[in-house]
Each structure stands twice: as C-alpha cells, then as structure tokens.
Amino acid sequence: MMKQNIARRLRDYSPRDLLIVGLPLLALVFAGFWLASRFIQPAPPDTLVLATGGEGGAYQSIGAAYKDVLGRFGIRVVERPSAGSTENVEWLRNPDLAVDAAFVQSGSVSAQEGDTLLSLGSLYNEPLWIFYRAELSQENGDLDQIVQLKGRRIAIGGTGSGARHLAQELLEANQIDASNTKLIGQGDLSLVRAFAARKVDAAFVVGPPQSAVVWTLLHTPGIKLMSLAHTEAYTRRFPYLSSLVLPRGAISMATDFPPRNVRLLAATATLAVREDTHPALINLLMQAMSEVHSGPGIFQRPGEFPRATVATGTDFPLAPAAERYYKSGKPWLQRYLPFWAATLIDRLVVLLIPLIAVLIPVTRIAPGLYNWRVKSRIYRRYGELKFIEAEVEADPGRLTREEWLKRVDAIERDVNHLSIPLAFSDMVYTMRLHIGLVRKVIERKV
C-alpha cells in the first residue's frame, strides 16, 4: 500500500522538471553552506603554551594558577619558563616558536610596525622593590634616592627581563651606567645568596609582594627596602609607571613591618597573545584572569583587576574577544553548558546563516518555479492557438479550411504528447476544449 502511494505521488510530479528546478537551487544552498563554513572557527586546541618568567618569580606562580583553572575545562597549559617580559614578547613575535600567550610588564616593550600581538588587559600592579644592604644606611641614613646607589654594585635583573629594562631606564635618568657603577645581570632567588655573600649592594626587583624573591628579601636580615622620594617625578617622566604606597604594617602587622609607609613605583602586569590565538582560549584565559586577580591585595581593591585599560607603554591593542568579555562577561552558552558543548554550538550557529538566508527563500521559490515550468509548456501552445484564431478572424480566406484545420490538428497532437504531471492534467483537458472552439470558429468563418 505504501509503495502504491509513493508511486502515485511520483506520477503527480515531473522528475525532469524537478531536477531542472531543484539542482540549481540545491547548488545555491550548498554554496551558502560552503561560504558559511569559511567563517567557522576551527575547534579550539586542547593545549595552550604560556610563557611565564624566571624561577621564584610571580609570573611562574600565576602561570601555575592559570594551569589549574584551564585544566578544569580540559585545556592543558604548558608553562614555558623565560628570562622575563622582554624575552616573552620576543617568543610571541617568533612564528617558529609555539607560544600562545605570555606575561608582559608594561613599559618593557612597545608595539612594532606589523605587530600581530594583542593584549588581554591589565592583571595587577607590579611594584619595583629596591633592596639594599643595611650597611649603606648606616653611612648615610636610610636611602631614598636612586642616585645614592651610584658607584655601588647593583643587580638589575637578568637579560630579557622586564625588571632589567625598567632598572636601566631609571638608572639612566639618574646618570648611572656601566661606566660609573657595576651593573650585575641577576634577578632571581640567587639574589638572596648574592646579598649573603656580599656580592651585591643593591637590587632592583619587580613583582608582587607574594613572589618568592620579594618575600624572601623582605624577610632577610641585613637588607632594607628603599622608600623613593621622587615617585611622582618618575611617573611624569615614565607614563607607564604609577606611584604606590606600601602601608605601615602591610607585610606583617604583628611585627609592624614595614615600620613606616614606603613609597614605591609600579608597572602593570599584562597578558599578551598572538592574533591567531583561538577566541575560545582567550575566553578561558579571561575567566582565569578574573578568578586569579579579582581579589583584594595590598595594592588593589576587590574587583579592580583585571581591567580593560592597557597600560601606557604597552601599546598592543585589546583583543576583540577580551573586549567583549569585559563588556558582557563570559559567553552566554558557557554560563549554562560545558566548555566543549558551548564551543561546538557556537561554531554550528554559523551554519544557520545559509539556512535562514538561502534555504528558507529557496523552499518558497521552488514550488513557484516548478509550477511555472510545467505550465509554460501548455501556455506556449495556447499562444500558438490564439495566433491561429487571430489570423482566421483577420483573413479567413488566406488558407483553405483543410489547411487551417491541419494547423490546429498539429497543435492538438503536440498537446497529446506533452509529458504533463497528473497534478496539471486538468489544464490539458481544458486546452482540448479550447482547441475544439477554434475548430468551430474555422468552420464558421471559412
């Protein structure tokens, strides 16, 4: 019974006309889907390579925190230790190195022509800590100016670090260089041993107070922290720096340490990515940034970081995905679905464009085109019949009756041989009636 119904339905349509109408429209639909597929992002990779920093530095511990957050979404974070901010940017710019994101200290690098690096915003304040041996203060009182370190042995950070770049700029502003002062390229936990061995007199260290290097030096006997007298002057000269105050007792209220307010300079930590970093990974990094950096701290209020404003001196533009995150929060689908499901649906939504823009109009146009094609064969014969009728009315004597009827008979034979679907058979019978009417006109006129 079902086979009979299918056969009956097939007889209602013309396969030839269906193909002639349907194939171009089907090609149009496939072209729409192909065009939409060009705009579908590939699936996000399951691994992200993150350039961090040196041993004992803040970037290393923050990288570990990001690794935990992204691990919950099934993303494996590969931490790549480095000398610091400057080297991180060099790695990001090198297309031969597999680095997706890196921590960058504001002011340590500037955008270059043709750069394809983007920023995800500011993470936290990175104070500059200037430590010096206590013996120096016994000679001249507590130090409060960088120029007082002239002629001493100063550790300015390792090659490729943001601390080294900042130290060199501040020393140059005080007319201190390698010609009049011994500058030592050292900046990790080995500074503690260098102070103990009396190999350095002072050290420039950049990082939050909880970083291993800063925390250890703050609690090492015989080492003092400089409170800078000219912080406001430095911020005018170096716009990427800000002036901070380490409040009395902020490190330890129990021991009243520090025993007085300490004025510090601070850069800003940022996170930079390559332009081709997958937007889904950027969204996860934004969530990690919010989770790790949004809490209160000695130098920040709750919710102050991360923030969209990119520090002056780090001229990488804000990534579009990061900009959307700052405005609207995490993607809507990720609020209710697992990460893998949200990204899959987000990619498939693009395919709805041809469905809406092409497929729906095609389904509306196709029946009309099919009907027009089938009816046009009958209408063409109607035109021929009407032409004969008009000729007979105008000049019946131009041909004999047999010649006129012969022309009408040819049209009737043509109509009888037309391949017309059953759904349009009523038009064939109606035309036969009209052919009979034209015959009567001929018989009456000729």
The residue with greater pLDDT, 9 or 248, is 248
- pLDDT at 4 > cutoff 50: no
397 contacts: CB under 8 Å, gap ≥ 6:
446
**What distance in Å separates the CA atoms of residue 23 and residue 17, rounded to the nearest whole number?**
10
Retrieve residue 5's tokens.
Answer: 């119904």
Q: Is the peptide bond before 258 cis (omega within 30 degrees of 0)?
A: yes
Domain ranges of the chain: 2-34+352-445, 81-330
- List, for residues 45-61, the tens digit of each pLDDT value: 889 999 998 877 889 99
Percent of the chain with pLDDT over 90: 49
Q: Average of pLDDT values for 62-83?
A: 93
Q: Residue 32's pLDDT is what?
A: 62
Q: Can you list the pairs that 112-118 forms with residues at least 24 positions away whose Cβ atoms lie under 8 Å?
A: 115/316, 116/274, 116/275, 116/276, 117/89, 117/92, 117/93, 117/272, 117/273, 117/274, 117/275, 117/316, 118/272, 118/273, 118/274, 118/275, 118/277, 118/316, 118/317, 118/318, 118/319, 118/322
Percentages of the chain per state (helix, strand, coil), in multiples of 5: 50, 15, 35
Measured in residues, the chain has a length of 446
Residues 366-405 have pLDDT tens digits of 777 777 777 887 888 888 888 888 888 888 888 888 888 8
Torsion of CA 51, 53, 55, 58, to 10 degrees: -110
Given a cut of 60, whether residue 81 has pLDDT beyond it is yes
Take residue 124 and report the two structure tokens written for it: 């936290």
Tokens of 280: 């889904």
CA distance 200 to 182: 9
pLDDT in the model for residue 178? 94
Mean of the per-residue pLDDT values for the chain? 84
Q: What confidence score (pLDDT) does residue 7 get?
A: 46
Name the pLDDT band for 218 (thresholds 50, 70, 90): very high
Query: How much is the pLDDT for 330?
Result: 81
CA angle 153, 269, 259 (to 5 degrees): 60
The secondary structure element, H or E, covering residue 126 is strand 117-133
What superfamily would CATH give domain 81-330?
Periplasmic binding protein-like II (3.40.190.10)
The answer for residues whose C-beta is within 8 angstroms of residue 112's C-beta and 6 or more apart is: 93
The SS3 call for residue 383 is helix
**Helix (H) or strand (E) segment spanning residue 233:** helix 231-237
State the DSSP code for 101.
Answer: E
Q: Tell me the helices (H) and strands (E) count for the chain, helix number first.
A: 16, 10
The Cα 67–Cα 62 span in angstroms is 9
Can you tell me the distance from the alpha carbon of 128 to that of 166, in angstroms, rounded to the nearest whole number? 9
> Quick one: pLDDT band at residue 350, thresholds 50, 70, 90?
low
Mean pLDDT score, 307-323:
77
- pLDDT confidence bin for 124, thresholds 50/70/90: very high
From the list 169, 158, 245, 239, the residue with the least C-alpha distance to 205 is 158
